[in-house]
Amino acid sequence: MKCIAHRGWSSYAPENTMAAFYKALEHDWIFGIELDVHLSKDGIPVVIHDHTLERTTNGEGEVRDFTFSELSQLDAGSWCRESFSGERIPSLEQALAAMKDSGKKVTIELKQVGSRYIGMEEAVVEVVDRLDMMSQVIFASFDHTSVKRIEQLAPHANRGLIIGQLPNLILEQLHYVAADYVMIEHHFADAALIKHLQENGIHVGVWTIDDELIVNRGRTMYEDVYITTNNPRILKDHILKSTTI
């Protein structure tokens, strides 16, 4: 099993903040880090999950209505714990720069919906390319058109399709967007499906598993599978039994 820290180590620190990313970077047995990207008003890729600010910051409104300078002034930590007061919304460049040469895969989920963010794919690819991290990154989205656009911009990039429902015609979907990774909501990922995908050369991930019982029941099924979790602690014993957190 390959542990992917969901929005960083988000059970420890506020999601999608540098504190959460640094915590995940501390441990060699964490295989990768996942983060979410929107586009600011001035076209800068920023790391935050929701389209709106209210849940994870002290701001109000939609991310796309604010410049990065404005977004970076918001408190993105106090909602989690007061000790994280002052954590900021990072830019994608800031987050990736911290992960560069860490040996960890970085999954960038593009929070594209139709044409909500004009130029998002170009902006994200530009940042990754400029940092020379193309081989370290997996570009992923629920939005088929967004993944297809990444294929056009960066043909050699790793691309993934995120599936949040019963995955009908899944190989056909992956072929259409030219993706070799798929991330499936764990309720829909059974052993037969995982085996079928892996036999067809697809890298499989499941999300989001925060229950150790689920991990134990699926131990054989999840061989060579990327397990996305908010709490990497629950996977630690399955990956490196001698590690102490």
The pLDDT tens digits of the residues spanning 146-182 come to: 999 999 999 999 999 999 998 889 999 999 999 999 9
Q: Which of 6, 27, 186, 203 is catalytic?
A: 6
The pLDDT tens digits of the residues spanning 40-50 come to: 999 999 999 99
- For residue 80, what pLDDT is reported? 97
- For residue 216, what pLDDT is reported? 86
DSSP the chain: -EEEEETTTTTTS-TTSHHHHHHHHT-TTEEEEEEEEEE-TTS-EEE-SSSBSTTTSS--SBGGGS-HHHHTTS--STTT-GGGTT--PPBHHHHHHHHTTSS-EEEEEE---TTSSTTHHHHHHHHHHHTT-TTTEEEEES-HHHHHHHHHH-TTSEEEEEE-S--TTHHHHHHHHT-SEEEEEGGG--HHHHHHHHHTT-EEEEE----HHHHHHTTTTTTT-EEEES-THHHHHHH-TT---
Q: Does 144 qualify as catalytic in the annotation?
A: no
In the chain, % of residues over pLDDT 70: 98
Average pLDDT estimate for 66-71: 98
The pLDDT tens digits of the residues spanning 97-112 come to: 999 999 999 999 999 9
Q: Is the dihedral of CA 202, 122, 75, 31 positive or negative?
A: positive
pTM: 0.96
Quick one: pLDDT band at residue 241, thresholds 50, 70, 90?
low
- For residue 173, what pLDDT is reported? 96
Judge whether 51 and 114 are in contact, CB under 8 Å. Answer: no
Q: Does 49 qualify as catalytic in the annotation?
A: yes
Q: Which of 38, 49, 186, 203 is catalytic?
A: 49
